[in-house]
């Protein structure tokens, strides 16, 4: 993706993300996102042929422990302080519109 991210693209992405942005925010974000893309393009100019890929900058390793079955809360105890419960589950307000989901 070369160069400038224009206001039209920012408006389209905002619409897809269901964000209401002011005209001032549109201008601000288009400039900021363009600067980010330009920086990444600058990084792409570096020769990284001899650089080994890494996941973390420090030499770390995971410390594993064995799984042990331990006593846990009963369903009744877990739901004891719930504001609302139904059929053994936490009952929460609906937050998605039109049956949409992930």
Domain residue spans in the chain?
A: 7-45
pLDDT, mean over the chain: 88
What is the C-alpha to C-alpha distance for residues 73 and 79, in angstroms, rounded to an integer? Answer: 9
> Which residue from 41, 31, 38, 39 is spatially nearest to 6, judged by alpha carbons?
31
Average pLDDT estimate for 45-58: 87
- pLDDT reported for residue 99: 61
pLDDT category at 102 given cuts 50, 70, 90 is: low
Q: Is the pLDDT of residue 93 over 60?
A: yes
The structure tokens 């900021």 sit at 32
Q: Is the pLDDT of residue 87 over 80?
A: yes
> Which residue from 24, 72, 95, 27 is spatially nearest to 10, judged by alpha carbons?
27
Backbone angles phi and psi of 67, in degrees to 5:
-75, 135
CA dihedral over 10, 13, 18, 19, signed as positive or negative: negative
What is the C-alpha to C-alpha distance for residues 19 and 11, in angstroms, rounded to an integer? Answer: 9
- pLDDT reported for residue 85: 92
What is the C-alpha to C-alpha distance for residues 1 and 79, in angstroms, rounded to an integer? Answer: 50
């Amino acid at each position: 993706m070369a160069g400038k991210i224009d206001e039209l693209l920012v408006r389209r992405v905002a619409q897809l993300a269901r964000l209401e942005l002011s005209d001032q925010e549109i201008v601000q974000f288009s400039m900021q996102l363009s600067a980010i893309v330009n920086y990444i393009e600058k990084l792409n100019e570096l020769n990284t042929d001899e650089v080994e890929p890494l996941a973390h900058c420090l030499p770390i390793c995971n410390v594993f422990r064995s799984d042990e079955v331990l006593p846990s809360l009963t369903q009744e105890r877990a739901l004891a302080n719930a504001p609302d419960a139904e059929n053994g589950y936490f009952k929460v307000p609906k937050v998605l519109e039109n049956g949409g989901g992930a």
